[in-house]
Amino acid sequence: MTPTPSRPAPRWAWLLFALLDPIPYGAFVAALIFDAIYYNTATIMYVKGAAWLLVFGLLAAIIPRLINLFLTWMPRYRASAATRLDFMFTALAIIAAIFNAFVHGRDAFAAMPTGLWLSILTVVLLVLGRLAGNACGPKGEDRHV
């Protein structure tokens, strides 16, 4: 049995991933900002806004993560270790965001400081994943997908 040679990812998949991938990042960073504002002001609108941003970020993360899952872990496409590390960090960030959404589902006063710490953890994991994904070649040929 001869192994199949690896090939680059399809162009349309990379374009769709590049289009949709930044949306959850923005939603999670905005949720962190809303949590920090709520922690300092105790205005309930901000914690409810953060809860909605978390839900929107999680829903927006579905399609890019499925594309990344398929193109990172399928043996017919080549993916570097940096790309796989980026996938792992992003998966951990999404898990933290799911727990954060459950925490934000509680009463507004009960959501802090746990919600703030989970928002910080989510954003830090996303940043670490992005840094790991950018650690590949100078042209970024292998970046993400």
Domains in the chain: boundaries: 17-133
Residue 17 has pLDDT above 90, yes or no: no
Is the pLDDT at 108 greater than 90, yes or no? no
26-41: b or e for each residue (b if 16 or more CB lie within 10 Å)? ebbbbbbbbbebbbee
20 or 73, which is more confident:
20
- Give the separation between CA 51 and CA 48, rounded to whole angstroms: 5
In the predicted model, is pLDDT for residue 56 greater than 50?
A: yes
Question: What one-letter code names the amino acid at 42?
Answer: A
Q: What is the mean pLDDT of residues 82-89?
A: 86
Residue 79 DSSP SS3: coil
Q: At 139, is the pLDDT very low, low, confident or very high (cuts 50, 70, 90)?
A: very low
Q: Residue range 66-72: average pLDDT?
A: 84
**Average pLDDT, whole number, for the chain?**
85
Per-residue confidence band for 94, with pLDDT thresholds at 50, 70 and 90: very high
Higher pLDDT, 83 or 37: 37
Which of 145, 117, 130 minimizes the C-alpha distance to 24?
130
